[in-house]
Structure 1
Amino acid sequence: MYHRLLPLAGLLALLAACNSGPTETTGAAGAEEAAAADTTSYDPDASTDSARMGKTTGVMVGNVSLTPNKTLAQNAAASPEFSQLAQAAKQTGIAENLGGDGPYTIFAPTNAAFDKLPYGAMAGLLKPESKENLTGVVNYHIIQSRLLAMDLRDGQELTTMNGQKVKIGVQGGKITVNGANVTTSDVVSSNGIMHVIDKVLLPPQE
């Protein structure tokens, strides 16, 4: 059967609509707490001991052990679960940043998460003319600080690398980001932290 790729015009708007879900609401006190909880102002020097926080044996993702002596870029490239994320990060040049000093926290969608996007969406974003849009999507998954699961609080809002915010949910020991479930938390790398998620985060259209 012939499948037509989605046109680039309006692609992100369609993706955002498919990715939308219920939004938590908080009272005035909760809003103030969420604003105060934006932890992107963490001291970058705190990242120097990232590797020491992780287990030497690493964390298994996709039958591959992601170890704290490797950078985020190296760990993402090592697991077959992140091949689409690694491809997008490489094509946009963001992989070079994730191989640098950091610190970074990345909410990393698996290939299964990318497969939930409408047919043709990823192919459209990977076109050369869509590099700016793809860069915005990838950067929407990255926080420029080191955040372990214990640092995340319900209602917390974090500013991403593309300048827009994501909202954290913590209920019953489970963590979500913009409604996406964190399936594996605290995958420690030498320059930051990875939290595996089951849904691609899409920037809101302004």
Structure 2
Amino acid sequence: MKNAKMLGTAALVGLMVPLAACSGGGEETSDKAKTALADKTTRTLASVIAGQNELSQVSDAMAEAGLAGVFDGPGSYTVLVPENSAFDELGEAGKTLTDAAHRPELVAVLRDHILPGALTAKAIETAIAENNGSVEMRTMGGDTVTFTQEDSKILVTGADGSRATLDGQAIVASNGVAMPISGLLKKAAPSATTQQ
């Protein structure tokens, strides 16, 4: 619990210094960045995830399972979103898991990719540093994920040992943050990986 409180505090601090480094140059770039940020922050998590081609597998699963409605609501979440390539790397198991017939199994896996509150990569890095190298958080699926840092990458490890890295820019939404990740943080249920 101490770790979760520390990460929550770090998240609030991290959100108070939002994306200042995103603007790379003159006033014109800064205005464009502000406009883009304003546009993103008025859109919900469901909308920003649906707008990313590399996150289409998860977006489709959320829509079919009714989770998109949750992410259109007022709550605040951080979604660790596996990229399409994460499913491709699973081969046949990934194809089976993302098949419409297996949406319940995929949704069960995805619940362990949802964290309460809106986090930033900087807030996670700060919490890792303040907690001697790792920090745990409880997922909406009831398991925990552990954040660590190796070199300049933030690694996320699921309760079953599955690992991924934060991969690319976090996407800010009005009700949270979507963080693309390189893999799944929970192995698929056996019924999801066998053809019926």
Task: Give the Cα separation in 2 of the matches to 1:39 and 1:185.
Answer: 24
Matching residue of 1:11 = none
Look up the SS of the partner of 1:201 in the other structure: coil
Identify if the C-alpha distance between structure 1 residues 176 and 185 changes in structure 2 by more than 3 Å, giving closer, same or farther.
farther
Question: How many residues end up aligned between the 2 structures?
Answer: 159
Task: Give the Cα separation in 2 of the matches to 1:76 and 1:58.
Answer: 16
1:176 aligns with 2:155: yes
Look up the SS of the partner of 1:184 in the other structure: coil
1:164 aligns with 2:143: yes
C-alpha distance after superposition, 1:106-126 (max 9, x if no partner): 111111111111314443454
Unaligned runs of 5+ in 1: 1-34, 60-65
Look up the SS of the partner of 1:161 in the other structure: coil
Q: State which of 106, 109, 117 in structure 1 corresponds to 2:82.
A: 109
The structure where helix makes up a greater share of residues is 2
Return the letter of the residue paired with 2:177.
Answer: I
Look up the SS of the partner of 1:68 in the other structure: helix
Q: State which of 100, 105, 121 in structure 2 corresponds to 1:133.
A: 105
Look up the SS of the partner of 2:42 in the other structure: coil
Return the letter of the residue paired with 2:150.
Answer: Q
Q: State which of 90, 96, 107 in structure 1 corresponds to 2:69.
A: 96
Mapped contact 2:48–2:171 kept (Cα < 8 A): no
**Following TM superposition, by how much is the alpha carbon of 1:188 offset from its aligned partner in structure 2, in angstroms?**
1.1
1:38 aligns with 2:4: yes
1:143 aligns with 2:109: no
**Following TM superposition, by how much is the alpha carbon of 1:73 offset from its aligned partner in structure 2, in angstroms?**
0.6
Return the letter of the residue paired with 1:175.
Answer: I
**TM-score, with length taken from structure 2:** 0.69
Q: State which of 52, 56, 72 in structure 1 corresponds to 2:34.
A: 56
Q: Percent identity?
A: 27
Unaligned runs of 5+ in 2: 20-32, 158-162, 190-196
Task: Give the Cα separation in 2 of the matches to 1:113 and 1:121.
Answer: 8
CA RMSD of aligned residues (A): 3.0
Look up the SS of the partner of 1:67 in the other structure: helix
Matching residue of 1:186 = 170
**Following TM superposition, by how much is the alpha carbon of 1:41 offset from its aligned partner in structure 2, in angstroms?**
9.0
**TM-score, with length taken from structure 1:** 0.66
Q: State which of 58, 66, 69 in structure 1 corresponds to 2:42.
A: 69
**Following TM superposition, by how much is the alpha carbon of 1:97 offset from its aligned partner in structure 2, in angstroms?**
0.9
**Following TM superposition, by how much is the alpha carbon of 1:144 offset from its aligned partner in structure 2, in angstroms?**
1.4
Matching residue of 1:197 = 181
Task: Give the Cα separation in 2 of the matches to 1:139 and 1:40.
Answer: 22
Mapped contact 1:140–1:203 kept (Cα < 8 A): no
